[in-house]
Chains A and B, each alone.
Chain A
Amino acid sequence: MTDLNAASAAATEAHSREFLVFSLGDEEYAIDILKVQEIRGYENVTRIANAPDFIKGVTNLRGVIVPIVDLRIKFHLENVEYGGQTVVIVVNVGERIVGIVVDGVSDVMTLTPEQIKPAPEFGVSLSSDYLSGLGSLEDRMLVLVDIDKLLTSEEMALVDTIDA
């Protein structure tokens, strides 16, 4: 994993990268588009008992059982609703497939290395450990999420800890 990150970091220096921009409440976030497998609606999620509330359950993605994480709940946003507009971004993290629920997907942006600024220690609802930077785009600010780190982190409880 670290190799991959290092490699993509190295690539960033020379090339601009594409990001998928999504919204959570009023904030705009972005993840590396190469991590994204597909975008689909929120439907048919089977609840998993005794799991943290932000793990909505599992769903059937063409025969593969995929856990669904609601980042809105994880980031303590208000007005968490599920409707026709609720979007699930299916991402590939390592060898796993995980669906994340967001308020909406706006667009795909290309960011040059100059546009990516180091992440500050404050201002967002998640630890800066999971951020790979801030993207500034004229008057918009994108929070670049390191989705690998975020989803494999212990607090997401998506991955078995060693003793389990």
Chain B
Amino acid sequence: MDISEFYETFFEEAEELLGDMERHLLELDVDEPDSEQLNAIFRAAHSIKGGAGTFGFDVLQHTTHLLENLLDHTRHGELVLRRDIVDTFLEAKDMLHDQLDAYRQGDEPDPEAFERICQTLKQLALDEMGKKVGHDAPGAAPAAKAEPERNPQPESESSGASDGSAEGRLNIALLGIADKDRELLVEELANFGEIIERRGDSSRYEVLLETSTSVDDIEMVMCFIVEPEQLEIVAAGAPAAGVSEAEPTSGSAKSEEESEKGGQQQGEVTAKPPEKTPEQPAKAESGKPAAKAQDKAKAKAKAASGGESSIRVPVNKVDQIINLVGELIITQSMLDQTVSEMDATQAGSLVNGMSLLQRNARDLQEAVMSIRMVPMDYVFSRFPRLVRDLAAKLDKNVELVTEGESTELDKSLTERIIDPLTHLVRNSLDHGIESPDKREAAGKSRTGRLTLSAQHQGGNILIEVKDDGAGLNREKLLAKAEANGVPTAENMSDDDVWQLIFAPGFSTADQVSDVSGRGVGMDVVKRNIQAMGGHVEIQSRQGQGTTTRIVLPLTLAILDGMSIKVGKEMFILPLGTVLESLQPRKEDIYAMAGDDVVMKVRDEYLPVVAVHQALDVSEAETEPTDCIAVIVQGEGRRYALLVDDLIGQQQVVVKNLETNYRKVPGVSAATILGDGSVALILDVTDLHRLSRTKREAQSARRQTTPAKEVEV
């Protein structure tokens, strides 16, 4: 079997684990670390180490090993966390990520970087643990080295300080172990602490070990080598040990029931009490809280990761299913149409069957679409780190709040929204939120607040990036716009002024920093979001902050459409762009100079786009008053589209035209209608552009309604 087949799985898993690790590290409260979180971090490192070892990624294994050691001390409370230690851990995590990438590319990781991080970690271990050792417990001596080669299973963490860090003597009996193996085992045991006494023969060999490691952990490690039956571990007569280990049991009322759950190893230990130990009962029970903690940890790990109940599937497989289901839906509607033309009395069961099929097909489609949906957490989870690092770089205090992480969004969109969001977050940190001193002077708290939120709004998702910083500066924006040659007016509304920052090459930063300010940003953000079928708005109040709202469709694969008819051709308008439709009256249509036609809709003059003209449809209504005007909105502007007829509203599966053909002006994509024919989905803004260029070209032979007085 070729082990390299599993590389990809390992890489993906390791990446996720690193992500988890980072998240936990960032969430970690340095002063009062949550032991669950410490354990989660440790588990992640441990799992990566295991995998790296299996696949022979030595550098990765070694680095994780060092990190794991430190983490292990941390979770046992032997290493007191400080912010800079967390930073070092984060740095190590980044390094692991780099190493992982290198392996993924088939390279060896950068040896210098590896040296450096090893040095850093070792130094940290030496500094921190050395101090510790010097201070209190000479017995816990083998600080960095104390870590066993084969580490305990991830779940084996011992609950806090109860018996985990308790100093004590353990009497470990090895039953029926051959001499040569015994030496190895004893060596292994020596890793846990100091061996005080050893005696016996191959049938029963006893080792008296002074150690800070819990019975549980030792058992776990030893179980890699020997059968559980071959091992007996009991707390030895040292009084200190007896007290500390018996303590946790006194509180445990459910000890009996617990001991049943307590797992095989514990049962084993109780079952074979060696005559030598006076403290036997205490020892037997000492296993229980640990076992309990173990169960708890397992349950938590399960709940947290959900990993056991999910499968990893390549996205293209899912897409394929989605495509096929789309086909199924189309076939079903085709059949439906045929059946509806049949005599219902004769084909009664067929009609019934069809309606059942229709329902099932829709359910199937919905279920399949939901596979692609991922929670926004996928996107938001990368921001804590970014904010933390940036805030440190900019000397600002920023608190990141995320809301609505569980809001689901199409996977392809989540990937594409990351860049624009990153940009907005950087902007907020750099330009929005002020330095602590400035904030204080403005009567705000020194710590700025950046909120990322997501929520569903109809068929859309609304994502907000909100800061409580200085807000946009109207004068500065206007001045900058003028300097850049962007047309401005003194009496522009605030909203219009805010829109200016989406103009290309616009940056209001006084100085270009490496964070932002190069002016290649907001226009790209806007373009990217529009390319996803969404739009972006800015709200800002001087001194109170800025909110950027991104509205995106939930998925790109399905679109709510309005089907319209022009001549004999059917087109689809994205329903999201349609505001209303009305019958134009002759007196509302005005021909403007320069061939433009506008239509007055409730005191607003909208450019008229005659679809038949833009798309050269023959046999269409040409007289505006015989058409239906559909008022649509695109890129913040409104237009009146002249169409022959409105057919209805339907969900359509979006098909890319560019797969086999090319971009078509005025058209964003295509879809397949119930009768199997193709209909084009119109792009409102592009259509307007197209009709303008066409009208200019055709102006000579243009015939419009008699020109009216222009009242604009």
Interface residues of A, Cβ cutoff 8 Å to B: 44, 46-51, 57-60, 62-67, 96-98, 157-160, 164
Residues of B within 8 A of A157 (CB): 662
Give every chain B residue within 8 A of A67 (Cβ-Cβ).
660-661
- The contact string, 1 if C-beta is below 8 Å from chain A, for chain B 531-552, is 0000000000000000000000
CA distance A60 to B664 in the complex (A): 17
Identify the closest chain A residue to B693 (Cβ): A50
Chain A residues positioned under 8 Å from B305 (CB to CB): none
- Which of B614, B655, B661, B662 contacts A49, CB < 8 Å? B614
- Interchain nearest-CB distance for B20 vs A (Å): 38
CA distance A82 to B616 in the complex (A): 21
**Is the pair B664, A48 in contact by a Cβ cutoff of 8 Å?**
yes
Closest residue on chain A to residue B666 by CB atoms:
A49
Contact B657 A65 (CB under 8 A): yes
B432 close to A (CB within 8 Å): no
Pull 11 A–B residue pairs with CB atoms less than 8 Å apart, ordered by A: A46-B670, A47-B569, A48-B661, A49-B616, A58-B661, A60-B678, A64-B659, A64-B660, A65-B661, A164-B662, A164-B663
Given contacts A48-B667, A50-B616, 10 further A-B contacts (CB under 8 A): A44-B677, A48-B680, A49-B615, A51-B664, A60-B676, A62-B327, A63-B326, A63-B655, A67-B661, A157-B662
Q: Is the CB of A46 within 8 A of B569?
A: yes
Is B665 at the interface (CB under 8 A from chain A)? yes
Tell me, in angstroms, the Cα distance from A164 to B615 when the chains sit together.
Answer: 19
Q: Chain B interface secondary structure, helix, strand, loop or mixed?
A: loop
B676 / chain A contacts, CB cutoff of 8 Å: 44, 60
Instruction: Please determine whether B680 and A60 come into contact, CB atoms closer than 8 angstroms.
Output: no
Contact flag A50-B662 (CB < 8 Å), given A63-B330, A65-B656: no
A46 and B677 within 8 A (CB): yes
Contact residues in A for B656 (Cβ distance below 8 Å): 65
Complex Cα spacing A146 to B614, Å: 35
Any A CB within 8 A of the CB of B512: no
- A11–B156 Cα distance when bound, in Å, is 64
- A46→B667 CA distance, assembly (Å): 13
A48 to B678 Cα, complex, angstroms:
10
Convert B640-669 into 0s and 1s, putting 1 for each residue whose CB lies closer than 8 angstroms to a CB of A: 000000000000000111111111111100
Residue of A nearest to B330 (CB): A63
B residues within 8 A CB of A51?
664
Most buried by B among A50, A51, A159: A50
State whether A65 touches B678 (Cβ < 8 A).
Answer: yes
Q: Which residues of B contact A62 (CB under 8 A)?
A: 327
Q: Which 3 A-B pairs have the closest CB atoms?
A: A49-B615, A46-B678, A63-B327
Tell me if A65 and B677 are in contact (CB < 8 A). no
Q: Is there a chain A Cβ closer than 8 Å to B244's Cβ? A: no
Contact A63 B679, CB 8 Å, known A49-B666, A98-B660:
no
Find out whether the CB atom of B679 lies under 8 angstroms from the CB atom of A158.
no
CA distance A58 to B677 in the complex (A): 9
Name the CB-closest residue of A to B615: A49
Question: Least Cβ distance of A91 to chain B in Å?
Answer: 11
Q: Which residues of B contact A (CB under 8 A)?
A: 323, 326-327, 330, 569, 614-617, 655-667, 670, 672, 675-680, 690
Give the distance in Å from the alpha carbon of A103 to the alpha carbon of B678 in the complex. 24
A158 CA to B677 CA, complexed, in Å: 20
Query: Across the two chains, which residue of chain B brings its CB closest to A47?
Result: B569
Q: Which residues of B contact A44 (CB under 8 A)?
A: 675-678
A residues less than 8 Å from B690 (CB atoms): 50
Residue of B nearest to A97 (CB): B660
In angstroms, how far is the closest chain B Cβ from the Cβ of A17?
Answer: 26
Q: How far is the CB of B512 from chain A (nearest CB, A)?
A: 30
- A53 to chain B minimum Cβ distance, whole angstroms, is 11
Q: Tell me which of B616, B662, B679, B680 contacts A160 (CB under 8 A).
A: B662
Is the beta-carbon distance between B327 and A96 smaller than 8 angstroms? no
A63 to B672, CA, bound (A): 7
The chain B residue sitting closest to A164, CB to CB, is B663
Q: Are B655 and A65 neighbours in the complex by a CB distance under 8 Å?
A: yes
Q: Which residue of B lies closest to A55 (CB)?
A: B661
B616→A159 contact, CB < 8 A? no
- The closest CB in chain A to the CB of B671 belongs to A65
CB contact under 8 A between A158 and B661, given known A49-B616, A58-B678, A63-B330: yes
Given contacts A49-B614, A49-B617, contact A60 B677 (CB under 8 A): yes
| Cβ contacts under 8 Å, A60 to chain B | 330, 672, 676-678
Q: Are the CB atoms of A158 and B662 closer together than 8 Å?
A: yes
CB contact between B664 and one of A49, A66, A159 (< 8 Å): that residue: A49
CB distance from A48 to the nearest CB of B (A): 6
How far, in angstroms, from A112 to B271 measured CA to CA in the complex? 86
Q: CA–CA, A158 to B663, complex, Å?
A: 9
Inter-chain contact A58/B670, CB cutoff 8 Å: yes
Give the interface centre of B657, B662, B667, B690 by most chain A CB atoms within 10 Å: B662
Q: A49 CA to B327 CA in the complex, in Å? A: 26
- CB B510 to nearest CB in A, in angstroms, measures 36
Contact yes or no, B659 A50, CB < 8 A? no
Tell me the complex Cα distance, A60–B665, Å.
20
When distances are taken between beta carbons in the complex, the residues of chain A under 8 Å from B660 are 64-67, 96-98
Residue in chain B with minimal CB distance to A96:
B660
Contact A65 B569 (CB under 8 A): no
State A62–B205 Cα separation when bound (angstroms). Answer: 75
Across the interface, which residues of A come within 8 angstroms of B667, CB to CB?
A: 48-49
Q: How far is the CB of B670 from chain A (nearest CB, A)?
A: 5
Residues of chain A within 8 A (CB-CB) of B662 are 157-160, 164
Distance between Cα atoms of A157 and B665 in the complex (Å) = 13
Nearest CB on A from B262, distance (A): 58
Question: B330, B667, B678: which has the most chain A beta carbons within 10 Å?
Answer: B678
A59 to chain B: which residues have CB within 8 Å? 677-678
CA distance A164 to B661 in the complex (A): 13
- Which residues of chain A are within 8 angstroms of B677 by Cβ–Cβ distance? 44, 46, 59-60
- List of B residues within 8 angstroms of A159 by Cβ: 662
**Is the CB–CB distance between A46 and B661 below 8 Å?**
no
- Point out the residues of chain B lying under 8 angstroms from A57, CB to CB: 678
User: Which A residues are in CB contact (< 8 Å) with B664?
Assistant: 48-51
Alpha-carbon distance between A48 and B666 when the two chains are bound, in angstroms: 10
Residues of B within 8 A of A98 (CB): 660
Chain A residues with CB below 8 A from B661, complex form? 48, 58, 65, 67, 158
Determine the distance from Cα of A98 to Cα of B659 in the docked complex, in whole angstroms.
10
Q: Which residue of A lies closest to B672 (CB)?
A: A60
Distance A97 CA – B678 CA, assembled complex (angstroms): 16
Asked if residues A50 and B615 are in contact (CB atoms below 8 Å), the reply is yes
In the bound complex, what is the Cα–Cα distance between A64 and B659 (angstroms)? 9
Q: Are B679 and A46 closer than 8 Å at their CB atoms?
A: yes
Contacts of B658 on A, CB cut-off 8 Å? 160
Q: In the complex, how many angstroms separate the beta carbon of A156 from the nearest chain B beta carbon? A: 10
Q: How far is the CB of B665 from chain A (nearest CB, A)?
A: 6
Q: Which of A64, A65, A97, A160 contacts B663 (CB 8 A)?
A: A160
